[in-house]
Amino acid sequence: MFKAIVSASTLQDALDSVSVLVDECKIRLNEEELSIRAVDPANVGMVDLTLEAAAFESYSADGGVIGVNLARLEDIAGMAASGDLVHLELDEETRKLHIEIDGLSYTLALIDPDSIRQEPDIPELDLPAEVVVEGAQLNRGVKAADMVSDHIRLRVDEAEESFYIEAEGDTDDVDLKLTREDLIAFSPGPADSLFSLDYLKDMNKAIPADAEVTVELGEEFPVKLHYGFGQGLGQVTFMLAPRIQSD
């Protein structure tokens, strides 16, 4: 059983954060929250999303799991005008999701959850450095790195008390230096890791410019990017595996 009403913008923010990594996903319709975990086919990027029942206008669910085509669901949510509410109701018998937006009814065939790639276990990592940065700043660093390289380096300079987003190209280099004053919060620690820029670009696309993004980092360790949406009742965590730095 699943029946819920949610604002179109909250639904869109949720879907966007998952669709940057995978085409299909399982959605867990728990009693207290809706949740999604997914990993890209290369096992490099993961997403863990929860949206509390309180983020919905109304929400009732009893723990079922559905499989959805994300692009299709995003198209439907895109039919909503700003401020529209989206009504969702699962038909258990036909395994279809009924979606209704201001007189428009859409019957979405679901995907067998067993046919969808297994949900990842997102590891607990005790990473030594933590930076809280505006989405817009992260976006600047990613765009700058994209001018010169396919890789991006995230680094904390403990002596300088600064967080660096860097990229080295064949001829040109770029770095964005964010000092304690530029950051929303900063717990320095030893951190220096290289990542595939394509993945970080995709994750960056989903992060709103005004989001407060918590970045957890280590030395040649995965990075975790965490931010809230839906008035803080939705939470997204991205995890991205590092590339080995060859010097």
Identified binder of its own copies from the candidate list 144, 183, 233, 241, rule CB under 8 A:
144
**Residue with Cβ nearer its own copies (20 or 101):** 101
In the complex, the smallest distance separating the C-beta of residue 50 from its own copies, rounded to whole angstroms, is 27
d(CA 22, CA 90) in angstroms, rounded, equals: 22
**Residue with Cβ nearer its own copies (135 or 234):** 135
Q: Which residues lie below 8 Å from residue 94, measured CB to CB, with a gap of 6+?
A: none
Angle (deg, nearest 10), helices 135-146 and 197-206 = 150
**Residue with Cβ nearer its own copies (52 or 74):** 74
Give the residue among 234, 245, 246, 243 at the shortest CA–CA distance from 47: 234
Phi-psi region of 75 (alpha: psi -120 to 50; beta: other; left: phi over 0): alpha
Give the residue among 132, 189, 125 at the shortest CA–CA distance from 156: 189
User: Is residue 140 part of the contact set for its own copies (CB under 8 A)?
Assistant: yes
**Residue with Cβ nearer its own copies (175 or 198):** 175
Q: Tell me the CA distances in angstroms from 9 to 64, 144, 234, one per residue in order.
A: 24, 29, 12
Question: Segment near its own copies (CB under 8 A), from 36-44, 52-60, 122-130, 166-174?
Answer: 166-174
Q: Which residues lie below 8 Å from residue 133, measured CB to CB, with a gap of 6+?
A: 163, 178, 182, 183, 184, 212, 213, 215
In the complex, the smallest distance separating the C-beta of residue 214 from its own copies, rounded to whole angstroms, is 20
User: Is residue 183 part of the contact set for its own copies (CB under 8 A)?
Assistant: no
In the complex, the smallest distance separating the C-beta of residue 102 from its own copies, rounded to whole angstroms, is 8
User: Is residue 1 part of the contact set for its own copies (CB under 8 A)?
Assistant: no
User: Is residue 83 part of the contact set for its own copies (CB under 8 A)?
Assistant: no
SS3 156: strand
User: Is residue 176 part of the contact set for its own copies (CB under 8 A)?
Assistant: yes
Summarize as ranges the residues that interact with its own copies (CB under 8 A): 72, 75-76, 79, 103-109, 140-141, 143-144, 147, 171-179, 182
